[in-house]
Structure 1
Amino acid sequence: MKAITLAALIPTALDPATCKLHCAVWNGEEYPIDVLSNDPEAWEGWNSDRSNKDDFNRQFIFSLAQDRHDLTLWLFGGIWEVLERGGEQYARSYKIALREDLMGPYVRRLYVRLALGGRQRRRKMESILDEMTVAAILEEPFLGDPFPGHDKINHALADLQMVVKQNRPDWRIALEQMKGVYVIHDQVTGSRYVGSATGDTGIWARWSSYAQTLHGGNRGLVDLVAEKGEEYFRTNMKFALLEFWSMRTDDGHVLGRESYWKEVLHARSLGHNKN
C-alpha cells in the first residue's frame, strides 16, 4: 500500500518554504521524545536553542522528536512561530510560540517516517518534504513507552524516573501490587546489585524510591553514586525483575530468593551488595 505523504496533512495556510525542519535527536543526556511527552516547557527550550548559526531563520519551526528504538521514526512536536531572534550562541535565544492552530491536534500523535542522513538536523522544510511520510496517527497523545511486561523490563534508571514522574498508570498498576526480586546491573562494568520488594509497599514503591534518591538508601549504591556521579548512574544502571509474586506471598520466601540470587550473580563478591 502506498504511504501517505506528510505533505497531504499540511494545511494550505502553511507554506513549507516558511518552515525550518527541526529533527531533535539524543543530546547525550536526554531523548527528545521523553522531553516532548513529559515536559512542555523543556521541549519549548529544545526548539528555542541557538547554535553558532542562526538555524531557525524562517517564520516557523516544524519540530520532530526522534523515537528511541527506530531512528527513522519521528514524533511530531508542533509548529512553533519564531517571534524574536536573539544573538547569543548556544543558548535559548529564540523567542517562540506554539501555533496550535497549525496541526495542533497532531502534536504527540503523528509519527513521521524519515530516514535522515548526514549530521544536519535543521533543514529547509521544502528540501526534504518529499521524503517524509505518515507512519502512524495515535488515538491518544504519546506518553512514553507502554509497560512491556514484568519479564521484559530492562530499563535504565533515567527511564524509571520518567515513568515515576509521569505516574504512568500502566506501570504503576502492574507493579504496585507485586512483590519481587530485582537486579540493577551496570552496563559499563557488568557489576550487579540484587534487591527485593517486600511488605505492603510493592515493587512500584521500592523503585519509586530509586527514582527519587538514585540509590534507594542501599549502602553499596550510595558509594557508587558518590564515585561515578549522578548522570552515570541514571544512564548506565538498568533495572530488571528476576522473580515476582502477588502481595500474598510470604516475605520470608521473597527474602530467601533474594539471598539465592545474590549468590548466583556474585552480587556480594563482585557487585554492590554489602550484606
Structure 2
Amino acid sequence: MPILLRDIWPIENQRDYKIHFARWNGHSQPLEVWARSHREWQAWQEYRPGRDDFNRPLIFSLIQFYHETDCWMFGGVFRVLHRHPDRYEVELTDQGTGFSGRLKLRYPYRERTTRPTMERHYDGFEVLEILREPYSGRSFPGYEDIDLAFEELETLIRNDRLDWRAALENVKGIYLITDVCTGRRYVGSAYGDQGLWSRWRAYTETGHGGNVELRGLVEQQGLEYCRTNFRFALLEHRAVRVPDETIIARETFWKRILLTRGEHGMNRN
C-alpha cells in the first residue's frame, strides 16, 4: 500500500496554497537550478507571467526530478509578500524544511498549467522516497553510462559530489562534447597529471577548457550558450598508469570515427 503525502504531512488549509510544478523552461532544468543556487531557485518563484498565477498566500514548490518518470522533489514552501506588476516578492518559510531537497513524490502530472491550486492535487501525491541528504546531483552511474548536460556537470562539480570526483579524479580518458543546437561535436582527452574531473571542471569554469575552436564559440555566444547546449559523454576511460601516448592515439581514433574534424566537428587537428 503506498504512503501518501497526506499520511506524513497533513495540510488542512489547502486553499492557501498554489502548487508550482517547476519543469524545464527551455533553458534550464529546475532540479539543477535548485542544486547549484538556492537564490536562483527562489527567483523561479518570483517570476510572474502576464497573469497573476500566485494569487494565494503560499507556494508549494515541486521540482521535476527529470531522471525519473512522474517524480517530483519538494523545493520548499514560499510566502508571497508582494505582487508587483512584473514580479513576485517571496520568502522561504520554515514549513517542511526537513523535507526540502529530500522528499520525492510520485505524481503523473501532464497538464500545461504549472501553477494549479493545491486542493486539486494534494490527495494524489505518493511518497516515493526521502533522501538521506539534500539532493546535490545524481549518483555516479558507472563509466559506461556517463551522458551529462553542461548544467548537470556544473552541479556535480560545484557541489563536489564525492562519488563522481572519486571515480573521475584519477583516471585518464577520451570524451565527447556535443553542441545539441548545431549537432557539431568535439573529441577531447584527459591525460598526464590531469584527470577527467579536473579537465571537465575547466569546461564548467570557462565553457571552452582552453580549446581554440570552443574558445571562439564562447567568445561569440557566451558561457550561457554552453550551459544550454553542450552535452558531455565519456567514450573511454583508462587507468592512470596507461601511457599518455595510448590516450592520444585513442583520441585520434575517435576523431576519425566521429568525423569531428572539418565542417562536421569542432576539432582543428
TM-score scaled by structure 2?
Answer: 0.91
> Which residue of structure 2 aligns with residue 4 of structure 1?
3
Given the alignment, which residue of 238, 242, 254 partners 1:249? Answer: 242
Superposed displacement of residue 227, structure 1: 5.1
SS for the counterpart of 1:220 is: helix
Superposed displacement of residue 237, structure 1: 2.4
> Are 1:98 and 2:89 an aligned pair?
no
Letter of the 1:87 partner, please give it: H
Superposed displacement of residue 169, structure 1: 1.4
Q: Distance in 2 between matches of 1:177 and 1:52?
A: 51
Superposed displacement of residue 188, structure 1: 4.1
> Are 1:194 and 2:187 an aligned pair?
yes
Superposed displacement of residue 156, structure 1: 2.1
Q: Distance in 2 between matches of 1:241 and 1:33?
A: 23
> Are 1:110 and 2:103 an aligned pair?
yes
> Which residue of structure 2 aligns with residue 120 of structure 1?
113
> Which residue of structure 1 aligns with residue 24 of structure 2?
26
- The two structures, once aligned, show a CA RMSD in angstroms of 1.9
8 A contact 1:146–1:170 mirrored in 2: yes
Aligned pairs for 1:116-265 within 5 A: 116-226=109-219, 229-265=222-258
Which range moves more in the overlay, 145-154 or 224-233?
224-233
Letter of the 1:6 partner, please give it: L
TM-score scaled by structure 1?
Answer: 0.90
Count the aligned residue pairs.
Answer: 268
8 A contact 1:193–1:273 mirrored in 2: yes
SS for the counterpart of 2:252 is: helix
Letter of the 1:176 partner, please give it: E
Given the alignment, which residue of 56, 65, 87 partners 2:63? Answer: 65
Superposed displacement of residue 226, structure 1: 4.3
Given the alignment, which residue of 42, 45, 48 partners 1:44? Answer: 42
Letter of the 2:141 partner, please give it: P
Structure 2, unpaired ranges of 5+? none
Aligned-pair identity in percent equals 40
Q: Distance in 1 between matches of 2:40 and 2:251?
A: 40
> Closer, same or farther in 2 for the Cα pair 1:30/1:50, shift >3 Å?
same
Letter of the 2:67 partner, please give it: H
CA deviations over 1:95-154 (Å, ceiling 9, x no partner): x23222x22211111111122232111121112212222121112211121112111111
8 A contact 1:67–1:73 mirrored in 2: yes
Given the alignment, which residue of 33, 36, 42 partners 1:35? Answer: 33
SS for the counterpart of 2:196 is: helix
Superposed displacement of residue 204, structure 1: 0.9
Q: Distance in 2 between matches of 1:232 and 1:48?
A: 24
Given the alignment, which residue of 73, 87, 91 partners 2:84? Answer: 87
SS for the counterpart of 2:110 is: coil
Superposed displacement of residue 229, structure 1: 4.9
> Closer, same or farther in 2 for the Cα pair 1:117/1:267, shift >3 Å?
closer
> Which runs of 4 or more aligned residues in structure 1 lie more than 6 Å from their structure 2 counterparts after TM superposition?
none
> Which residue of structure 2 aligns with residue 56 of structure 1?
54
8 A contact 2:187–2:260 mirrored in 1: yes
Q: Distance in 1 between matches of 2:62 and 2:181?
A: 31
Q: Distance in 1 between matches of 2:242 and 2:165?
A: 19
SS for the counterpart of 1:123 is: coil
8 A contact 2:73–2:105 mirrored in 1: yes
8 A contact 1:11–1:103 mirrored in 2: no
Which range moves more in the overlay, 157-166 or 199-208?
157-166
CA deviations over 1:32-86 (Å, ceiling 9, x no partner): 111222211111221222222222222221111111133521100111222x223
